[in-house]
Amino acid sequence: MHGFRLSAAQIEQFNEDGFLIVENLLDDETVERLRGRFERLFRGEFETGLVPDEVNWREGQSDPTLTRQICNGWRADRTIARTVLRADLGQAIAELGDWPGARIMIDNVLWKPPGTRPLGYHQDNAYLSWFTPKQLLSCWMALDATRAETGTVEFVRGSHKWHHSQPEGEFHGPQDYRRSVELAAEREGVQPEYVYVEVPQGGGAFHHGWTWHGSGHNTASEHRRALVLHAMRSDTRFVPEQLSEGIGRVYGRYKHLTDNEIDENYFPVLWRHDGYRTPGIETFTRSTG
């Protein structure tokens, strides 16, 4: 049983900064189990038999200087699922967003070995025209102790209050990973304040969907692995006119034929204010195949 809870002061800090850095999201035993699952996932070994929605790096086939990324590892692996489908994380996200509840949109399985190139700065909400309300809030969990030199995630303080930007620039391995946010800051007439998420293993951060964030080169000798829960509101619905755009092309496959409801089999509700949680979560995460 997990019991992460936010204080009123933490919620206030999140609202001001657009992110909240925390410790003790994961215990050491869970961290070790997740690291082992990462290795299997990137070898293409999927416990449930389901292929993740996006596999952007495969061992022996992909550029070793790029950050390894899988989206929706939870469908392929129950250890991942038991972490990203936690009710307490869903409740924390709903409280930070002032939402009626939270459901998972996707997870990110991220691995940055030594020498890996950056991930470009971006705002998550800029990619979400395919559903409404167009709101996302994320929980980033470190499986290794992080430092600026390991290419940890970094945020720009208060940038969730800036004007909303359209996606621009390269995401995987750009030459200048901060170029997009620097252009946005120039349009705002401000100097960006960069904050690195430097936490022990098991720590992490929550961030707002409009907060600018990215990560630099891993210039250290240590690996930097992270698991990210990206959540949307429990009352979110598809926007069918936008499903052919951007990542809607991937996740639009789950739209029903006759309505715009978002199916809980693919986007489970983690927590809702009335106590509801998708019933199948516990059955799926306990199953052995």
pLDDT, mean over the chain:
94
What's residue 54's pLDDT?
94
Considering the domain boundaries, does residue 103 fall inside one?
A: yes
What's residue 51's pLDDT?
96
pLDDT exceeds 80 at position 133: yes
189-213 mean pLDDT: 98
Cα separation of 240 and 233, whole Å? 18
Q: How confident is the model at residue 288 (pLDDT cuts 50, 70, 90)?
A: low
Cα of first residue to Cα of last residue in the chain, in angstroms, is 22
Secondary structure letter of residue 169 according to DSSP: S
Considering the domain boundaries, does residue 246 fall inside one?
A: yes
Secondary structure letter of residue 211 according to DSSP: S
Cα separation of 20 and 14, whole Å? 5
Which has more pLDDT, 100 or 168? Answer: 100
Task: Look at the chain and report how many structural domains it folds into.
Answer: 1
Cα separation of 248 and 233, whole Å? 17
The residue range of the domain holding 68 is 8-286
179-185 mean pLDDT: 95
Q: How far is CA 277 from the centre of its chain?
A: 20
Q: In the chain, pLDDT over 70 holds for what percent of residues?
A: 98
CATH of the domain at 181: 2.60.120.620
Cα separation of 149 and 84, whole Å? 26
Specify the pairing of strand 153-156 against strand 213-215. Answer: antiparallel
Cα separation of 91 and 88, whole Å? 5
Q: In the chain, pLDDT over 90 holds for what percent of residues?
A: 88
pLDDT exceeds 70 at position 210: yes
Q: How confident is the model at residue 132 (pLDDT cuts 50, 70, 90)?
A: very high
What's residue 121's pLDDT?
95
The Cα angle at residue 99 between residues 80 and 97, in degrees rounded to 5: 75
Considering the domain boundaries, does residue 2 fall inside one?
A: no
151-159 mean pLDDT: 98
40-94 residue pLDDT tens: 999 999 999 999 999 988 888 889 999 999 999 999 999 999 999 999 999 999 9
Considering the domain boundaries, does residue 65 fall inside one?
A: yes
Secondary structure letter of residue 261 according to DSSP: B
- Count CA within 13 A, CB hemisphere, residue 160: 22
Considering the domain boundaries, does residue 3 fall inside one?
A: no
How many other CB atoms sit within 10 Å of the CB of residue 69? 22
Considering the domain boundaries, does residue 277 fall inside one?
A: yes
Considering the domain boundaries, does residue 68 fall inside one?
A: yes
pLDDT exceeds 80 at position 2: no
What's residue 1's pLDDT?
52
Cα separation of 213 and 63, whole Å? 23
181-191 mean pLDDT: 96
Cα separation of 214 and 17, whole Å? 16
